[in-house]
Chains A and B, each alone.
Chain A
Amino acid sequence: MYAQNVDTGVKKVRGADEMSADEAAFQARIDEGIKIEPKDEMPAAYRKTLIRQISQHAHSEIVGQLPEGNWLTRAPTLERKLILLAKVQDEAGHGLYLYSAAETLGASRDDMQADLLSGKAKYSSIFNYPTLTWADIGAIGWLVDGAAIINQIPICRCSYGPYARAMVRVCKEESFHQRQGFDIMHTLCNGTEEQKAMAQDALNRWWWPSVMMHGPRDGDSVNTAQSMQWKIKLFTNDALRQKFIDQTVPQADFLGLTIPDPELEWNEETGHYDFGEPDWDEFWNVLKGYGPCNQERLQARIDAEEGGAWVREAAEAYAEKQAARKAAAAA
């Protein structure tokens, strides 16, 4: 998802009898559904994991502006241009809400961004794929935002108050994103032969990365188990992935598009779709920095940060001068 494979720093999830009194009291609050707030006492590992997860989520929103941003200057109509601008702008807003949520835990936005630019912090693998045609903008809205919503709605109920509240705001704004993507695909699929081919090509390229977006198979991941105990993750990667596939296949059918998975098949018994295995080597490679666009994405963020440094410094310097002038006038 937007936060993939977040390390909790624990080796083993402990039961109540293995916890200290403080830890047990903390876990009891979470189990009762009481939200944890910024100044509350919390285990260091909970704080650290949350900072990691929320900042990774924020980075994904910010880097996520870039693939779609490619097409802001090339959107085919003025209305599409406005819609896409509003959407990419929303992503900046979502990044901002999430950085703010992480800041309540004592992390500074500058430090988090420095970790992104140095390559220390990760962001979602999905944004390292290229947007080659206009149909990719449709596919991202439809598939990537569709997957994101499935992940984010449960986080509105997560245990950390500021994160939950940020997600409520994000989800409210996000609902138009997926629809605009589907609308682009729908228009293309009802267009010329070239447009239909463009839509199918986009689905072919974005399907597997979207399926992998939900993160690696659960297996017996200690991180997943710990995050679920803390209620900062509410469903397993596999459960979210299944939900995404079940929801998306009929939509692809409606569009008249073919999902590029020969093993995809409805299973009467389970009431879900069976599907093939994604290329997990590719997933790990992209996450480690060897995807098609990792270098471009990171460089774009570095350029923006470095190119903007003198602007931010100017505003700081002016604020200081103004404060000094005010003080002098008052003296």
Chain B
Amino acid sequence: MTEAPNMDNARYEYLLQLGDSDLILGQRLAALCGHGPALEEDIAMTNVALDLIGQARFWLSYAAELKGEDADEDTLAFLRDAPAYRNLLLVEQPNGDYGQTIVRQCFYDVWHFFVLQALMQSTDTRIADIAAKSIKEVQYHVERSGDWVVRLGDGTEESHRRTQAAVDKLWRFTGEMFRSSEAEQALIESGVAVDVATLYEPWHAHMQALFEEATLTLPGDQPMQTGGKAGEHTEHLGYVLAEMQHLQRAYPGARW
């Protein structure tokens, strides 16, 4: 961020953080529709994508109102380049095999749940309302991805191996979820944002119990990759956006 965050700019940035992570994960899941491991699972996972993109619209619409001018959910989604995106690095990681898809989902869902639970008490009532509406959907996401982590972890030898590999691969992106950005720090005291550092313990405890049931091993301390909330992304996001924004970029100003 180039300028020191004032309250409204911080709030705008914060809404982007919340909306962008939902959107990018939803976009990743949308690519799986029609390619799932079973018909029933295909339908179920698409529901998660629908939920996440729906939630992204709430966050981005609110952000657009703060931004003013001609901004709306679509200009924010389709006309910002990667450095202006504020999503977590975790959600832009490729779908990989289904083990990777599920582990990514599980890491995010549980974090997402605790964030929304805290945001239901946000002093910004608009944020509190969106959180209250979204958490019902996310509660179900937590159950579903948890169910799958257990089944893949404690399934066959192959599924255990693949899923453990996914955990080991994605673990380095989990640290970022619990480190506040400048925007978040500016909003914690006034009770607008949640201090994500406080969510680490409940998240970790949840993971530990779940992974034990799944016969999987949680990695220990290791250096973490960060930067998503500041616009420093992995190489993957550029490709995600190039595809997602193609029409809006190729036909500027057209209505769809």
Contact = CB atoms under 8 A, between A and B. Distances in A.
Contact of A304 (B36, B78, B156): B36
Given A69-B34, A315-B151, A310 B251 contact: no
A304 B41 CA distance: 12
| Dominant secondary structure of chain B at its interface with chain A | helix
A194 B158 contact: no
* Prevailing SS type, chain A contact patch: helix
B34 A82 contact: no
Contact of A85 (B33, B155, B243, B255): B33
A82 B78 contact: no
Interface stretch (B42-50, B173-181, B198-206): B42-50
B150 interface: yes
B70 to A, nearest CB: 15
Contacts of A187: 255-256
A73 interface: yes
Contacts of A75: 247
Interface stretch (A87-95, A174-182, A216-224, A234-242): A87-95
Interface in B55-111: 56-57, 60, 73-74, 77-78, 97-99
Contacts of A310: 156, 158-159, 162
Given A76-B256, A81-B30, A310-B159, A303 B43 contact: no
A289 to B, nearest CB: 20
Contact of A88 (B33, B40, B247): B33
Contacts of B31: 72-73
B227 interface: no
A89 B50 contact: yes
A25 interface: no
Given A72-B30, A88-B34, A314 B56 contact: no
Contacts of A92: 33-34, 39, 42-43, 46
B255 to A, nearest CB: 6
B46 A89 contact: yes
A65 B33 contact: yes
A321 interface: yes
A51 B166 CA distance: 41
B224 interface: no
A82 B50 contact: yes
Enumerate the 9 nearest inter-chain pairs by beta-carbon distance, A residue then B residue, closest first.
A308-B37, A314-B155, A314-B159, A65-B34, A76-B256, A311-B37, A69-B34, A76-B247, A89-B46
Given A81-B53, A82-B54, 16 more contacts: A65-B33, A69-B33, A69-B35, A74-B246, A76-B247, A82-B50, A89-B47, A96-B39, A192-B251, A192-B254, A194-B251, A195-B254, A308-B41, A311-B38, A311-B41, A313-B158
